[in-house]
């Protein structure tokens, strides 16, 4: 457990974070900007009242002493105030306050399956949100199936993202429809709407009716697949995460275009997900050599997305729904024969941050 210490040097006071790696001096500018003093931060919102970029470039710590459980720190710009060492320790690591992703394959031991009624209990909901954040998907059974129940379900988890398809959309087979999702063809693993900015964060797909023997659903964890590609072909992985791809959707009233790499990395180089929809993408004109290398890596990625070792394959029955992180977990379906009967799903997008916010709030409440 890290600790905060004041180094006893009256000429040059220092506050350090001490852990098993040694001491890290806490910079005066860092400490000064973190002051919780009511003159510096609003007590209700915790939001800062001053602009840290206006602090003097040469700011120094001029005094540091323990005062009960707190530290009293004074700075060269004349400000002094109390600090809670625990808050300094917590602030020393930037974290989103959500659990890390757990990569999975088709042989995962416990699928995150819940009953809608149990998700009305906040403790169960917290567990389900934990599963969702770590695994990137949830399966929920016995959901309400009125015409717009999907919005009630969506609001239970977060904020609905309305698009040109509406606040929710109907997935059933109709000729001449404006998306292949609305034909009875098989849809390989894909993420939805890579042509939007921002891409819809989370998708809910709820089955209202399936009288056909086909139309099975699939889910794949892109993090698990891409980790394998990165191991086998680091150069190919690098190309997939650097070379921009153009994604486009168009119909009579809409034309959406976005240009971004297929593999998405965060600022620290960690993979956060993919934009993958082979029916919608175009790679730019690059050298013959890079095109071949790109093609090989993309082929490997695509083949592993289709590989039964990575792909969950199941039937959604009426009242059953899946909710998945649209940047991380690819979804698809097998073809179906509309002459066998009716198959109808409803879909809805919600922002990625809704379930994460709810998770933090419930965690605060129960811990
Ligand atoms: O029909 C399905 O099961 C899935 C449809 C789909 O992939 C989509 O709407 O994006």
What CATH code is carried by the domain that includes residue 143? 3.60.130.10
Name the helix (H) or strand (E) containing 16: strand 14-19
The verdict on 86 and 128 lying in the same domain is no
How high is the pLDDT of residue 143?
98
Establish whether the linkage from the previous residue to 198 is cis, with ω within 30° of 0.
yes
Which structural domain range is residue 45 located in? Answer: 3-91
Q: Give yes or no for residue 320 CB within 6 A of ligand 1.
A: no
Place 299 in a pLDDT band, splitting at 50, 70 and 90.
Answer: very high
Distance CA 19, CA 27 (A): 17
Paired tokens of 282: 């175009």
The verdict on 31 and 140 lying in the same domain is no
**pLDDT tens digits for 95-123?**
899 999 999 999 999 999 999 999 999 99
Q: In the block, which residue shows the tokens 């809409």?
A: 254
Q: What is the CATH number for 80?
A: 3.30.2020.30
How high is the pLDDT of residue 94?
87
Q: Which sign does the torsion angle of CA 35, 40, 42, 45 carry?
A: negative
User: Stretch 327-342: mean pLDDT, rounded?
Assistant: 95
Domain contains 255: yes
The verdict on 216 and 344 lying in the same domain is yes
The verdict on 218 and 353 lying in the same domain is yes
The verdict on 83 and 118 lying in the same domain is no
Distance 16 CA to ligand 1 centre (A): 54
Domain contains 237: yes
Q: Is residue 127 scored above 80 in pLDDT? A: yes
Distance 230 CA to ligand 1 centre (A): 28
Backbone phi, psi, residue 137, to 5°? -160, 160
Q: Give yes or no for residue 217 CB within 6 A of ligand 1.
A: yes
Distance 297 CA to ligand 1 centre (A): 26
Minimum-distance ligand 1 atom for the alpha carbon of 316: 3
How high is the pLDDT of residue 176?
77
Place 53 in a pLDDT band, splitting at 50, 70 and 90.
Answer: very high
Q: What are the Cα distances from residue 75, in Å, to 49, 51, 54, 59, 82? A: 18, 16, 14, 7, 12
Domain contains 99: no
Are 122 and 325 in contact, with CB atoms under 8 Å apart?
A: no
Domain contains 118: yes
For a pLDDT cut of 90, what percent of the chain falls above it? 92
- The residues with which 349 forms a beta bridge, in sequence order, are 161, 203
Q: Which sign does the torsion angle of CA 199, 205, 211, 216 carry?
A: positive
> Final residue of a domain: which of 91, 122, 149?
91
The residues, any chain, with a CB within 8 Å of residue 78's CB and separated by 6 or more, are: none
DSSP character at residue 365: H
pTM of the entire predicted model: 0.91
How high is the pLDDT of residue 284?
93
Domain contains 313: yes
Which has the closest alpha carbon to 135: 264, 263, 221? 221
The verdict on 25 and 150 lying in the same domain is no
Which has the closest alpha carbon to 350: 114, 152, 126? 152
The verdict on 12 and 67 lying in the same domain is yes
Domain contains 291: yes
The verdict on 65 and 137 lying in the same domain is no
The closest residue, in CA terms, to atom 7 on ligand 1 is 332
Q: In the block, which residue shows the tokens 């029916």?
A: 279
Which has the closest alpha carbon to 58: 99, 28, 26? 28
User: Stretch 261-280: mean pLDDT, rounded?
Assistant: 93
Q: Is residue 72 scored above 90 in pLDDT? A: yes
The verdict on 281 and 359 lying in the same domain is yes
How high is the pLDDT of residue 319?
98
The verdict on 64 and 130 lying in the same domain is no
How high is the pLDDT of residue 225?
98
For the chain, the average pLDDT equals: 95
State which of 150, 205, 323 you would mutate to test the pocket of ligand 1, scoring each by most atoms of that ligand within 8 A of its C-beta. 205
Are 76 and 56 in contact, with CB atoms under 8 Å apart?
A: yes
Place 11 in a pLDDT band, splitting at 50, 70 and 90.
Answer: confident
**pLDDT tens digits for 148-175?**
999 999 999 999 999 999 999 999 888 7
**pLDDT tens digits for 237-248?**
999 999 999 999
- Tally the domains of the chain: 2
How high is the pLDDT of residue 178?
79
How high is the pLDDT of residue 77?
98
Burial class (CB in 10 A: 0-12, 13-18, 19+), 345: buried
How high is the pLDDT of residue 292?
96
The verdict on 48 and 187 lying in the same domain is no
Domain contains 96: no
Domain contains 352: yes
Q: Is residue 197 scored above 80 in pLDDT? A: yes
The closest residue, in CA terms, to atom 3 on ligand 1 is 333
Place 294 in a pLDDT band, splitting at 50, 70 and 90.
Answer: very high
Are 139 and 207 in contact, with CB atoms under 8 Å apart?
A: no
């Amino acid at each position: 457990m890290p600790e905060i210490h004041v180094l006893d040097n009256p000429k040059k006071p220092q506050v350090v974070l001490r852990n098993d790696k040694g001491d890290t001096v806490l910079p005066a500018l860092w400490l000064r900007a973190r002051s919780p003093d009511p003159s510096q931060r609003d007590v209700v919102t915790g939001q800062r009242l001053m602009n840290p970029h206006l602090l003097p470039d040469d700011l120094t710590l001029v005094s540091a002493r323990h005062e009960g459980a707190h530290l009293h720190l004074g700075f060269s710009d004349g400000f002094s105030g109390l600090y809670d060492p625990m808050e300094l320790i917590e602030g020393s690591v930037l974290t989103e306050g959500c659990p890390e992703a757990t990569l999975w394959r088709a042989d995962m031991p416990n699928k995150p399956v819940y009953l809608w009624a149990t998700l009305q209990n906040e403790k169960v909901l917290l567990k389900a949100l934990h599963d969702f954040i770590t695994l990137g998907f949830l399966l929920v059974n016995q959901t309400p199936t009125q015409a717009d129940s999907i919005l009630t379900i969506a609001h239970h988890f977060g904020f609905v993202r309305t698009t040109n398809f509406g606040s929710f959309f109907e997935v059933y087979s109709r000729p001449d429809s404006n998306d292949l999702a609305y034909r009875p063809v098989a849809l390989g693993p894909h993420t939805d709407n890579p042509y939007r900015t921002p891409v819809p964060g989370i998708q809910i797909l709820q089955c209202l009716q399936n009288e056909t023997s086909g139309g099975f659903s699939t889910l794949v964890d892109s993090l698990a697949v891409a980790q394998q590609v990165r191991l086998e072909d680091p150069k190919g992985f690098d190309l997939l995460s650097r070379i921009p791809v153009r994604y486009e959707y168009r119909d009579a009233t809409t034309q959406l275009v976005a240009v971004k790499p297929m593999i998405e990395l965060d600022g620290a180089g960690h993979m956060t997900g993919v934009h993958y929809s082979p029916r919608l993408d175009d790679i730019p004109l690059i050298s013959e050599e890079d095109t071949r290398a790109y093609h090989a890596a993309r082929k490997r990625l695509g083949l592993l997305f289709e590989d039964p070792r990575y792909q969950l394959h199941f039937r959604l029955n009426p009242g059953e729904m899946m909710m998945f992180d649209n940047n991380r977990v690819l979804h698809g379906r097998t073809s179906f024969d509309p002459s066998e009967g009716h198959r109808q799903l409803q879909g809805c997008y919600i922002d990625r941050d809704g379930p994460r916010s709810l998770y933090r709030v419930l965690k605060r409440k129960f811990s």
